[in-house]
Each structure stands twice: as structure tokens, then as C-alpha cells.
Amino acid sequence: MPSVKFKQFRQSRHSNVPTNARPATLRLITAVIMAGVLVSIGAGAWWYWKTGISGPAARGIATPDTPLDDLLGRNHRAQLQQALAQRRYGGRTWNWEDYVQWGRELVHEGRVKQPPVGPTPSVPIADTYRCLHCHNLVREDVVLTHQDPVARESLLEHNPALAGKKTGVHLTTGTTFWGLVNRERFYNGYYARYHRLKVREGNSFRPMNPESLADAIQVCCSYCSAGRFPEDWELDSILAYLWTLELRLRDLGLPADQQRQLLEQLNSGNAELQAAARKELRKHYLVASAAHAVEPPLRSEDEHGGLIPGPMAVKDIYPPSVAELEQWFAARRTNPESPSAQANKPGPQNSTPRTNLTVFGDPKRGEWLYQSACALCHGNEVHPKAGRSLAASSSAFHRYVWKGTQRDGLYMPFFTRERLSPQQASDIRAYLRSLPPPKSE
């Protein structure tokens, strides 16, 4: 069985124990019932032993620490655990913890020191890129339903206010892996064009299924990382590792009253109340991450223009589409929408006057924003160029930031509005312009 599709495991867990009590003596009926009860207890114990999961929501012991996957009654993690327990790699089965460890190594280093099959160490997924060049592993949005890189600044480890505290949050081009397993649709909005890309299934290829996390991982290993398709054991391992980053009820940060009420409903044993609570839960985190592309500025001015306050300031004039996008984001900041509505919306409508958006860059903010958004890849083994050389020309700067590069092999991914704001980009440009020119300039 080549690739993991959650759908294939849907609802396979509730093994109904047949209790066909035929008309017979009372003793026989009692015996059959007793046997049924014993089998049920046995199956439950097996289930618990096999997966370490007791189905808390179903059994009325949901707590703030219960994973959403259990609260929603989906049990996708348990199904994957069950499936992996059957898989054989290198002629034997492995523990869940082995998969998690390999997955961690793949995400962090791109290869595994002691893989279950193949060469030791394993062949890197990509030559240069690792998942962490483009994805965080921790919470990156203060309000989970509002993906906003400006609000994200309060969590950036380069933020001077945090004085060197390790938060693990960067302004990456891809969304965080934290809670990724809880999403239901992948490559949304602007990225929907990737749904045409092919993924591997056994020895053949087919278009990706936008609802399959395994397919999204395949796409990112091969296309985004400029690497290759993962082997089956690699895909299984990355999925297992991602399940260690799943959301729990308390992560939603609900008001205490609402959390208590939801827990009561989930623990009530009443199917209707549970369904209502589950519906409510899904409104409080991202079931699909959004992506809006930003059009680069119509023109930019630097300090030479003399029009700009301060010696190092820069000015970027964005087209009306960006002004509307900014208004739309500002409106959502005060009134967050349901995440599924967000992901499926085309974005701002052309209803407002078509005015340009003028942004002045602040070099002081730009310094730590640069450390967060660019330094992961610039000035190191990914790309040697760094500092002022990146802002030598304002049009090249904006082209790379908002459009990236499209070519085979090592390329630069672009930033969507969910990952960088026009103000942040101008601040970075102002900082880079404020540095002494490189010798070659």
C-alpha cells in the first residue's frame, strides 16, 4: 500500500460485535450476552493498548488537554497509528515512536541517520532546502483564525521586546506545521494552482488530492523543497511526526465559560449536543490556511529623491489592489471571520475607490524583520548574498519578495499577504538600504 490517505481508514474502528441471540434457553442468551461483553472489553483493551487512546470524547472524559482529533470523533491519528503498526519496512514492523523519530529527523535535517530501509544514512529529500527554511513548528498566530504577519510580530524571536527569547517563530513563506494535521484542505487561495501537480502512488503518478495531507507533503518535498518524492516510509514518518504537533482544546484559547460549556456538551453522551459542540470547535482554528498574492509596487523611491522624511527612509507605492487587500486585512483584524470562509473567499472586492497605497519603510523595524524573514536563507549555505546587495534595486527586491523565482532547482519562494505585509517589506528594504553598499555596488 503505497501512500497514506486518511479517507481509506475512515470509520474502520468500531468493530460491531455480533450478538445474534437465536431463540434459545435463557442460559444460552445469557452466555451469548456475556461473551459479547467480554469481546467488547477485550476489543476496547486491545484498542487502548494498540493506540494509547481511549476515545475520551466518546467516553465522557474530554478535558482541555484532549486533542481536537479525538474531540471531533475523527480519530485520524489512531487510524494512522493502526495502519503503521501493520506496515513492514526492511522486513519487519516498527513502533510509532520510531516513525516519529525518523519524521523529526526528516523535517529538521532532511535525512535519517538509521533508516529502516535503504542506504545509511538515508538520501536527503532535497539538496539544499529543509522544511524549516520555510515552515515554523510552533504556534505563529495569536488568534488562530487570523493569519496576520503583523500580529505575528509579537511572537518573533528577533523582536527586540522579547530580548532574545526563543519562540521558534519566523516570518516563513509556508504556514506552521503546528496544527497542520488538523487542517482539512491544502494549498488554498492563490496556491490552488498547485492542485494540478502530480504526486506518486506506487509506480504511477496522479494529480494531488487537495484534501490529503500526505499528498500536500509529497508536493512540498518534490516541488517546494526542490527535492524528490518521499519514499513510503519517509511519508509515513513525516505524518507521524506532524501528529506530535496536533492541536488540543486549550490551544484554541476559548473564554473559560465557553470551554466549560463545550466540554459539558462533548461529555454529555448526547449525540446532538456533541455535534453542535464539534461544529463550534471548528470555527476556532484554521481548517484551511489562506493565501493572497501581493502585487509589487508601481514604483519606489529611495533617499535620493529628497521627498522622504529621514535620511534612510524608502517609499513604496503599491497599486489599488494592494490598498484594498490592506483594508480587507484591517477589517478582519477587528472582526475575524470563520476560517473556512477566509480560505474560500476570492479576497477583497473592487468596491472601494481605486487609490494607491503609499508605504514608508522604517529601518529600525526592518532589521529584526529581516532576521526573521530573509536571514534563514540569505548569507548562508542556501544563498550567499545578504544585506544591502538584496536591495540594490527596488524593483528586483520587490520582484523576489512578491513573485519569488520559478525555476528548476534552488529557487526563492514568494511571500503571500498571510506571510508578509507590504509595510514589513518596506521596513526590510529600508533597513537594507541603510547598510553600507557592498564593495561590488
If the CB atoms of residues 224 and 325 are measured against ligand HEC, the closer one turns out to be 224
Q: How far is CA 111 from CA 125, 198, 300, in A?
A: 7, 23, 43
3-class secondary-structure state, position 189: helix
Tallying the residues shown for the chain, one arrives at 441
x/- binding map, residues 292-331, to ligand HEC, per CB under 6 A?
A: ----------------------------------------
Q: What is the longest distance spanned by two Cα atoms in the chain?
A: 101
Give the residue, chosen from 135, 152, 158, 292, that forms a contact with ligand HEC under the rule CB under 6 A. 135
Please answer whether residues 264 and 256 qualify as being in contact, where contact means their C-beta atoms are separated by less than 8 angstroms: no
- What is d(CA 18, CA 20) in angstroms, rounded to the nearest whole number? 6
Binding-site size for ligand HEC (CB under 6 A) equals 44
If the CB atoms of residues 199 and 263 are measured against ligand HEC, the closer one turns out to be 199
Distance of closest approach, residue 413 Cβ to ligand HEC, in angstroms: 4
Distance of closest approach, residue 373 Cβ to ligand HEC, in angstroms: 4
Residue 385, strand partner residues: none
Closest CA to 182 of 341, 66, 86: 66
Give the residue, chosen from 62, 71, 100, 134, that forms a contact with ligand HEC under the rule CB under 6 A. 134
Grid coordinates of 15: 468493530
Neighbours of 156 (CB within 10 A): 22
Q: Is 359 in the site for ligand HEC (CB under 6 A)?
A: no
If the CB atoms of residues 357 and 428 are measured against ligand HEC, the closer one turns out to be 428
Q: Is 238 in the site for ligand HEC (CB under 6 A)?
A: yes
Neighbours of 212 (CB within 10 A): 19
Distance of closest approach, residue 341 Cβ to ligand HEC, in angstroms: 16
If the CB atoms of residues 73 and 387 are measured against ligand HEC, the closer one turns out to be 387
Residues 50-89 that bind ligand HEC (CB under 6 A): none
- What is d(CA 423, CA 363) in angstroms, rounded to the nearest whole number? 11
Going by their DSSP bridges, the two strands 315-318 and 299-301 should be labelled as antiparallel
Distance of closest approach, residue 174 Cβ to ligand HEC, in angstroms: 3
Distance of closest approach, residue 273 Cβ to ligand HEC, in angstroms: 30
Closest CA to 374 of 423, 414, 405: 414
Please answer whether residues 121 and 106 qualify as being in contact, where contact means their C-beta atoms are separated by less than 8 angstroms: no
If the CB atoms of residues 57 and 220 are measured against ligand HEC, the closer one turns out to be 220
If the CB atoms of residues 156 and 216 are measured against ligand HEC, the closer one turns out to be 216
Phi, psi of 320 (to 5 degrees): -55, -35
Give the residue, chosen from 173, 274, 300, 434, that forms a contact with ligand HEC under the rule CB under 6 A. 173
Residues 189-228 that bind ligand HEC (CB under 6 A): 191, 213, 216-217, 220-221, 224-225
Distance of closest approach, residue 150 Cβ to ligand HEC, in angstroms: 14
If the CB atoms of residues 188 and 267 are measured against ligand HEC, the closer one turns out to be 188
If the CB atoms of residues 78 and 220 are measured against ligand HEC, the closer one turns out to be 220
Distance of closest approach, residue 365 Cβ to ligand HEC, in angstroms: 13
Distance of closest approach, residue 431 Cβ to ligand HEC, in angstroms: 10
Stretch of residues binding ligand HEC (CB under 6 A), selected from 111-119, 124-132, 296-304, 350-358: 124-132
Burial (0-12, 13-18, 19+ Cβ within 10 Å), 15: exposed
Phi, psi of 333 (to 5 degrees): -60, -40
Give the residue, chosen from 96, 129, 318, 329, that forms a contact with ligand HEC under the rule CB under 6 A. 129
Q: Is 291 in the site for ligand HEC (CB under 6 A)?
A: yes
If the CB atoms of residues 13 and 198 are measured against ligand HEC, the closer one turns out to be 198
Q: How far is CA 235 from CA 91, 156, 214, 240, 347, in A?
A: 18, 30, 7, 9, 33
Q: What does DSSP assign to residue 125? A: S
Residues 375-414 that bind ligand HEC (CB under 6 A): 376-378, 382-383, 385, 390, 396-397, 400-401, 405, 407, 410-413
Q: Which helix (H) or strand (E) holds 207?
A: strand 204-207
Neighbours of 300 (CB within 10 A): 22
Closest CA to 131 of 291, 238, 16: 238
Cα separation of the two ends of the chain: 56
Q: What does DSSP assign to residue 286? A: -
Give the residue, chosen from 183, 200, 365, 417, that forms a contact with ligand HEC under the rule CB under 6 A. 183
Could you give the angle at the alpha carbon of 410 between the alpha carbons of 386 and 218, nearest 5°? 130
Binding site for ligand HEC (CB under 6 A): 125, 129, 131, 133-135, 173-175, 180, 183, 186-187, 191, 213, 216-217, 220-221, 224-225, 238, 289, 291, 373-374, 376-378, 382-383, 385, 390, 396-397, 400-401, 405, 407, 410-413, 428
